[in-house]
């Protein structure tokens, strides 16, 4: 089994190395939108891209748990929004 590298970054994020890049996991501690962001940062980044593959999993205050997905390198805003069931 290949050894997996996990490390901390300066901004309280941490990363997990993967083939072709690394996952960067960042806590989102805003009062109104707490959650966690997972970005895949490729080793060979496209300099023209405005975003990397990303999933933001958050629970807006007063709203449903949701996942926002960035799935296009040339679109700055998220491309998919998934709302989860209301389990409150």
pLDDT in tens, 56-81: 999 998 889 999 999 999 999 999 99
Structural domains in the chain (count): 1
In a domain, 18, yes or no: no
CA–CA dist 67, 87 (Å, integer): 15
Evaluate whether 52 touches 43 at the Cβ level (below 8 Å): no
In a domain, 2, yes or no: no
32: which DSSP letter? S
In a domain, 3, yes or no: no
The whole domain housing 60 covers 27-83
- Residue-wise pLDDT for 16-60, tens only, equals 999 999 999 999 888 899 999 999 999 998 889 999 999 999 999
């Amino acid at each position: 089994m290949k050894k997996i590298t996990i490390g901390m970054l300066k901004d309280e994020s941490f990363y997990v190395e993967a083939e072709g890049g690394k996952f960067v996991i960042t806590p989102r501690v805003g009062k109104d939108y707490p959650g966690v962001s997972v970005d895949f940062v490729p080793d060979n980044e496209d300099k023209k891209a405005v975003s990397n593959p990303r999933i933001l999993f958050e629970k807006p205050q007063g709203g449903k748990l949701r996942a926002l997905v960035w799935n296009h390198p040339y679109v700055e805003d998220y491309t998919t929004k998934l709302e989860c069931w209301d389990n409150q």
